[in-house]
Amino acid sequence: MCGIVGYIGDRDCVPIIIEGLKRLEYRGYDSAGIAVLSDGTKEVIKTKGKVSELEAEVAKQGLAGKMGIGHTRWATHGVPNQLNAHPHFNQEKTLFLIHNGIIENYSELKNKLIKKGYSFYSETDSEVVVNLIDRYIKKGRDLAAAVKYALNKIDGTYGLAVMYENEPDKIVVARKGSPLVLGIGEGEYYIASDVNALIAYTQHVVYLNDDEIAEITKDSFTVRTITDEEIQHEILKVEMTEDEITKSGYPHFMLKEIMEQPLSIENSMRGRFITDEGIVKLGGLIGYEDRIARSKRIILSACGTSWHAALVGEYMLEEFTGIPVEVEYASEFRYRNPIVGEDDTVFFISQSGETADTLAAMREAKRKGALALGICNVVGSSIARESEAGVYIHAGPEIGVASTKAFTSQLVVLSLITILIARKRNMDFEIGVELIENLKALPQKVEEILKLNDEIEKIAEHYVNSNNFLYLGRGYNFPVALEGALKLKEISYIHAEGYPAAEMKHGPIALIDENMPTVFIAPKDAVYDKILSNIEEVKARKGKIIAIAHVDDTRIDELVDHVIKIPECHYLFQPILNVIPLQILAYHIAVKKGLNVDQPRNLAKSVTVE
């Protein structure tokens, strides 16, 4: 969500911070700001709107300096405007702070500070933090100690960076529940909430853990816990290039990431097969396979698109392993005192590995003794580090807010886990080989689907002015209907709902008329004839019909208004292929509406607050 960037060194910090903030625009935000404190310069510039507006104002004022912090804000407390934008500062304007997260007891702290003579110019909870730090500085503490004392008074989450005029060679940062990474240079250091902001400058990083505070100068850094225990962190190398986070000639990141799916799917399975034995090898789960296979229950917990992937995973795991599987919204799991224990395995699925609800749910499952495993994309993320084991999906950076390639890679990894555990239990060698061979064929089939881009764009022209959509599928393709509807809602702002096709008669059929498009996922599988019956019911009510069907299906042509023909595959992997035309359809409808598909309103790529 919000973005943090900072720099201390011998170079001008302003272009570095501005470029870093641009790298974080995909996270979702409504305002931006920068503070510079060095060589006699003390300046804060804040703007409502895009980083480009901040950049123009910075250029206009000629801002420069060797130490600074910048921020993009996604509103929580207080409306989007210049006053509520970060950085925030104390009354004397000697202390500057940027903050991601939510301070739950800010109202109580604010009232106490007001009684001590403090006044507030913004509506934010973050301004409370800078004034609380100021309070401890005025009691004689240095900056790092003041931050530590202040954070011990705070309930909530934070990733923050602070500068103080009387300690002009230092930035203090802290983390609890909101990611922070330090970039290591030669005679310079960087700070960011996402490694994407740093890779143009360094590939060597340190990921802070919760309840850690770091003091950073241009020559060194030290990390301590909030209880003053010194921590030695390993410096890690980021295996990512700057090219991976550019559009590479595409008009939008979302289209680029849709088109990257043959490669991202291949990368998700690369090196993970022993085909001759019909088995899967997942290095991140070595030593845990038998325990998973002995589980009395498997739980899949996630949010948003990852939750739809979990639904497909439930179908896979139950059918092929025989283990009962439940799918939980992470946001509900943590609050309802879930009954989990040592006989349960819980997989937590998150593209970013920083989703606040999913991370909190994982901690709750660990506390109750369950085996807590992660499935995520971002190396070094909180879920990757705090889970007992797990699997990376290796989809590569996903910048577009609406997840595309991460979803299909999550489905590939869930397929791999299914084969791994099923072969440990009761799956025949021949079935294992068959499934592996079908998985290996997917990238080429995705290539064939992507060639339909122009055809799908023409279909999109018919539905740009639609106000509602219905998506219907059965079995493994019901979660695909949910995901197709979500993609359309996220980027085109058209109301859309996904349902099991058989549930249409239990309510949604009342919505169907000549203005209501219905998308059917209709592969030639065990329920194909039933799907055709549902199509007939919509047709009888003059509804517009778009179908996703197999390439050799001729029966469906005369029943629907538009059909997108895709290759056949094993039914277990149909969701991976069937969702891609729905991603492309949503993309073109949104573009034709003139919308920003990479940064849809009110949404953030990584939801790091509740």
CA distance 576 to 405: 10
SS3 letters for 491-511? HHCCEEEEEEHHHHHHCHHHH
Is residue 216 a contact partner of residue 8, using CB atoms and an 8 Å limit? yes
What is the token pair recorded at 38?
């060095």
- 3-state SS of 534-563? HHHHHHHCCCEEEEEEECCCCHHHHCCCEE
Give the rounded distance of the alpha carbon of 398 from its chain centre: 8
Residue the block writes with tokens 């993009």: 72
The first and second tokens of residue 517, run together, are 């498009």
Tell me how far the alpha carbon of residue 501 is from its chain's centroid. Answer: 29
Task: Return the bridge partners of 213, or none.
Answer: 174, 224
Residue 327: strand pairing partners: 300
| Residue 127 burial (10 A CB sphere; 0-12, 13-18, 19+) | buried
Question: Hunting for tokens 């123009």 — which residue is that?
Answer: 56
Category of 367 on φ-ψ map: left (φ > 0), alpha (ψ -120 to 50) or beta: alpha
Sign of CA dihedral 459, 460, 462, 463: positive
Task: Give the Cα-Cα-Cα angle 66, 70, 74 (nearest 5 degrees).
Answer: 180
Q: Could you tell me if 100 and 1 are in contact, meaning their C-beta atoms sit under 8 angstroms apart?
A: yes
Please answer whether residues 21 and 5 qualify as being in contact, where contact means their C-beta atoms are separated by less than 8 angstroms.
yes
569 is catalytic: no
**For the chain, the helix, strand and coil percentages under 3-state DSSP, each to the nearest 5:** 40, 25, 35
Contact present, 305 and 583 (Cβ < 8 Å): no
Confirm if 8 and 171 have CB atoms less than 8 A apart: yes
Q: What does the block give as tokens for 547?
A: 């179908």
- Would you say 406 and 305 are in contact if contact means Cβ atoms under 8 Å apart? yes
Distance in angstroms (rounded) separating the CA atoms of residues 97 and 478: 46
**The amino acid at 245:** I
End-to-end CA distance of the chain: 11
Strand-pairing partners, residue 5, are 70, 192
Catalytic residue among 2, 13, 303, 376, which?
A: 2
Question: DSSP labels for 226-271?
Answer: TTS-EEPPPPEE----GGGGS-TT-S-HHHHHHHTHHHHHHHHHTT
Do the Cβ atoms of 58 and 45 come closer than 8 Å? Answer: yes
The length of the chain in residues reads 610
Which of these is catalytic: 46, 148, 405, 605? 605
| Residues assigned a catalytic role | 2, 605
